[in-house]
Amino acid sequence: MADHYEVLGVERSATPEEIKKAYRRLARELHPDVNPSEEAAERFKSVTHAYDVLSDPEQRERYDLGGSGGFGGGNFGFGDIFDSFFGAAGGRSNGPRSRTERGQDALLRIEIDLDDVIFGSKRELEIDTAVLCEACKGSCCAPGTSITTCDICRGSGEIQRTVRSLLGNVMTSSPCGTCRGYGTIIPNPCPTCAGQGRVRAKRKIAVDVPAGVDTGMRLHLPGEGEAGPAGGPNGDLYLEVKVRHDDIFSRSGDDLLATLEVQMTDAVLGASVTLTALDGEVSIEIKPGTQSADIVTVKERGVTRLRGGGRGDLKVGIHVQTPVRLNSSELDLIKQFASKRPPAKPQFSKFQQGLFAKLRDRFLG
């Protein structure tokens, strides 16, 4: 039998959290819903069994004492080594195992639009998960039947035996092979869930996406994960958010950024325009003499802050368009305008850090 630590890919000194993390990683990779191959199914069973043993402190201790790898390299007293050969001495009992367990957590990814981020949104998701078996309501038994006490261990979940040793007669205990340590048996398993108390099904959940979320953030929905075996409580559901790209607007923290192209005449004379933003119409004032890379800020028209309330700003970068196709009349007017301006030869001017920063921020985000 393969070593449980090797199956999970962890060291024998791994912490419970490291073991849990390794199991979740492998389970997501090998789960039959993700990887339907027979090889993956067998590995999934091995990984689950290894996790069941190593996640239980008492089972892990017994495994370290007598499993692969000898005594596990730990520091043990005489009683620990004695128990590794003869089981729990003196009739000590841990009681029957519980069939009811908490369900696993689940992770899903959702995509939302940028306008959903401004004020938040409500979504309805359909997920494929483990749900409570409606036929047996989690009892694991066929309708009209019930769980019965194991006749072999009489409900204790353990079998006690007297073993003759060099030290005399010793009372040992081990899990009951008939009920597998549960202390009860299911004579008539529910045919719908095969005695698991849960089935795989699709269900819908309502999700409130808060305003201000960003790509990479995770939403925590307690109790919306997989149903546990035998009517156990649900695990939790985590939703990882991805905000879709928008062709016009981009996000910088709590601010929205956009570029506005204006005609040369509007930049010279000034203008007032009304445009459609993500949350309705917005008025942009272009002052006379506006230059390319100037920024017009519209207060409180950005993204709602995730914490603290209020909204960021809408920052509009101005791009002045130079006309390239002029008719003869237009060319004459431009020439007349140029003739009345003082002659000036184009040349490098003193470096302007502020102008460069505006250009960099606008074009590089």
pLDDT at residue 86 in the model: 42
Q: How confident is the model at residue 70 (pLDDT cuts 50, 70, 90)?
A: very low
Least confident of 98-112, 212-226, 308-322, 351-365: 351-365
Hunting for tokens 């007032």 — which residue is that?
272
Q: In whole angstroms, what is the distance from residue 214 CA to residue 197 CA?
A: 38
As beta bridge partners, residue 258 has 316
141 assigned to a ligand binding site: no
User: Is residue 215 a contact partner of residue 241, using CB atoms and an 8 Å limit?
Assistant: yes
As beta bridge partners, residue 272 has 285
* Helix or strand holding residue 7 (H, E): helix 4-8
pLDDT at residue 1 in the model: 54
179 assigned to a ligand binding site: yes
Average pLDDT, the chain: 82
pLDDT at residue 352 in the model: 52
Q: How many CB atoms lie within 10 A of CB 225?
A: 22
Tokens for 311, please give them: 């909204």
pLDDT (mean) for 283-307 = 91
pLDDT at residue 361 in the model: 57
Q: How confident is the model at residue 84 (pLDDT cuts 50, 70, 90)?
A: very low
Count Cα atoms within 13 angstroms, Cβ side, for 124.
Answer: 3
pLDDT at residue 68 in the model: 39
- The answer on pLDDT for 83 being more than 50 is no
Tokens for 217, please give them: 């953030």
pLDDT (mean) for 181-189 = 92
Least confident of 24-33, 82-91, 222-231: 82-91
Please name each of the domains of the chain with its CATH number.
1-86 (1.10.287.110), 87-245 (2.60.260.20), 250-364 (2.60.260.20)
Hunting for tokens 């102008």 — which residue is that?
355
Between 177 and 65, whose confidence is greater?
Answer: 177
pLDDT (mean) for 248-275 = 91
Q: How confident is the model at residue 113 (pLDDT cuts 50, 70, 90)?
A: very high
- The answer on pLDDT for 189 being more than 90 is yes
User: Is residue 303 a contact partner of residue 212, using CB atoms and an 8 Å limit?
Assistant: yes
pLDDT at residue 353 in the model: 52
Q: How confident is the model at residue 331 (pLDDT cuts 50, 70, 90)?
A: confident
pLDDT at residue 347 in the model: 65
DSSP line for 262-321:
EEHHHHHH-EEEEEEETTEEEEEEE-TT--TT-EEEETT-SPBPSSSS-B--EEEEEEEE
pLDDT at residue 168 in the model: 64
pLDDT (mean) for 243-249 = 91
140 assigned to a ligand binding site: no
- The answer on pLDDT for 234 being more than 80 is yes
Least confident of 30-44, 76-90, 137-151, 291-305: 76-90
pLDDT at residue 235 in the model: 93
User: Is residue 278 a contact partner of residue 115, using CB atoms and an 8 Å limit?
Assistant: yes
pLDDT at residue 350 in the model: 59
pLDDT at residue 341 in the model: 76
Of 248, 96, 240, the closest CA to residue 157 belongs to 96
Of 104, 118, 115, 178, the closest CA to residue 148 belongs to 178
Count Cα atoms within 13 angstroms, Cβ side, for 276.
Answer: 1
DSSP secondary structure code for residue 188 in this structure: S
